[in-house]
Amino acid sequence: MTELFDQGLIATLRAARSLTILTGAGMSAESGIPTFRDSLTGLWNTFEIEQVASLAGYLQQPQAVWGWYHTHRQQILAVQPNLGHVALAQLEQHISSVTLITQNIDALHQRAGSSNVIELHGTIDTIRCSAGDHGISAWPDQPDLPLCAVCGAPLRPDVVWFGERLDLAKIQAAEFASQTCDVFLAIGTSGLVAPAATFPMTARAHRARLIDLNLEDTPLSRHARHRLRGPAAQLLPALVAATWPEA
């Protein structure tokens, strides 16, 4: 198994005391979760992505857009974390400090067992008021549009839409994890979308060793100490097994 990976990579992981991981859409795609654009098919092919991913679009047709999210969430709940998700959770057994930053909203990392997850773009597991800061509640499994008990406005998915700011506390936590890790592992992310694209470079600037795992090269790849090409669901379990064969 170890011959599949560079011995320097294995030594880097075994010596790691603090690991920060960044995952993008490629991680979820391997579980069969369609992207937003891929989901705009069939009954939903009359929607533009801006209609289902902006507050203005939601408020124009709240019931219709809620129906789209209800269907999309059912698709997410129907799939399971892949072996790559499971392997990332297993890293917590071998490395003292593991922080996982994700651009995905599907909560598959938590379902796989990861305990320290920063969801940059929110989660489809919770909802909040579209008009004010009236608290966050669990997602109601209903096709009908829920309304805020405080003001009567439509409730909305607790995700970040176009034109909205990311949660400052989450950005600060991700920046801190990037500044203080000794190894940074980027998986299935394009390296193009800020602020997530800045975290690997922040880690590198603070002397962390950068590992890039993707299906193909990205703008991040040339900065990585180690580059792995292939599906995360195959490479990550093999990498964990090769690094800690005694486990």
Question: Are 149 and 94 members of one domain?
Answer: no
Residue 22 among known ligand-binding residues: no
> What SS3 state is found at 158?
strand
Question: Are 178 and 200 members of one domain?
Answer: yes
Question: Are 107 and 218 members of one domain?
Answer: yes
Question: Are 179 and 215 members of one domain?
Answer: yes
pLDDT greater than 70 at residue 82: yes
Question: Are 50 and 136 members of one domain?
Answer: yes
Distances (CA, A) of 199 to 27, 29, 181, 210: 17, 22, 11, 11
Q: Please tell me the predicted confidence (pLDDT) of residue 46.
A: 58
Question: Are 135 and 46 members of one domain?
Answer: yes
DSSP 128: E
Higher pLDDT, 38 or 241: 241
Q: Please tell me the predicted confidence (pLDDT) of residue 38.
A: 54
Higher pLDDT, 16 or 69: 16
Distances (CA, A) of 121 to 69, 104, 194, 200: 15, 7, 12, 17
Per-residue burial over 114-151, b if 16 or more Cβ lie within 10 Å, else e, is beebbbbbbbbbbbbbbbeeeeeeebeeeeeebebeee
> What SS3 state is found at 151?
coil
pLDDT band at residue 47, thresholds of 50, 70 and 90? low
Question: Are 145 and 91 members of one domain?
Answer: no
pLDDT band at residue 109, thresholds of 50, 70 and 90? very high
pLDDT band at residue 91, thresholds of 50, 70 and 90? very high
Q: Domain boundary residue among 105, 137, 159?
A: 159
One-letter amino acid of 88:
L
Residue 129 among known ligand-binding residues: yes
**Is the pTM above the cut of 0.75?**
yes
Domain that holds residue 60: 36-78+128-159
Question: Are 28 and 50 members of one domain?
Answer: no
What is the token pair recorded at 172? 């600060």
Residue 77 among known ligand-binding residues: no
Q: Please tell me the predicted confidence (pLDDT) of residue 45.
A: 57
Question: Are 230 and 141 members of one domain?
Answer: no
Per-residue pLDDT tens digits for 170-211 = 999 999 999 999 999 999 988 888 899 999 999 999 999 999
Residue 155 among known ligand-binding residues: no
Q: Please tell me the predicted confidence (pLDDT) of residue 43.
A: 42
Q: Domain boundary residue among 109, 141, 159?
A: 159
How many folded domains does the chain comprise? 2
Question: Are 214 and 134 members of one domain?
Answer: no
Backbone angles phi, psi at 160, to 5 degrees: -90, 125
**CATH number of the domain within which 220 lies:** 3.40.50.1220
Residue 80 among known ligand-binding residues: no
Distances (CA, A) of 22 to 54, 154, 156, 207, 213: 25, 32, 26, 17, 10
Range in 24-38, 179-193, 224-238 with the lowest mean pLDDT = 24-38
Q: Which residues are catalytic?
A: 121
Residue 21 among known ligand-binding residues: no
Question: Are 175 and 225 members of one domain?
Answer: yes
Task: Residue 171: name the closest of 101, 88, 99 by CA.
Answer: 101
pLDDT greater than 50 at residue 160: yes
Those residues with Cβ within 8 angstroms of residue 68's Cβ, 6 or more apart along the chain or in another chain = 39, 44, 47, 52
Question: Are 102 and 220 members of one domain?
Answer: yes
**CATH number of the domain within which 63 lies:** 3.30.1600.10
The three-state DSSP-derived secondary structure of 41-102 is CHHHCCCCHHHHCCHHHHHHCHHHHHHHHHHHHHHHHCCCCCHHHHHHHHHHHCCCEEEEEE
pLDDT above 70 covers a percentage of the chain that reads 93
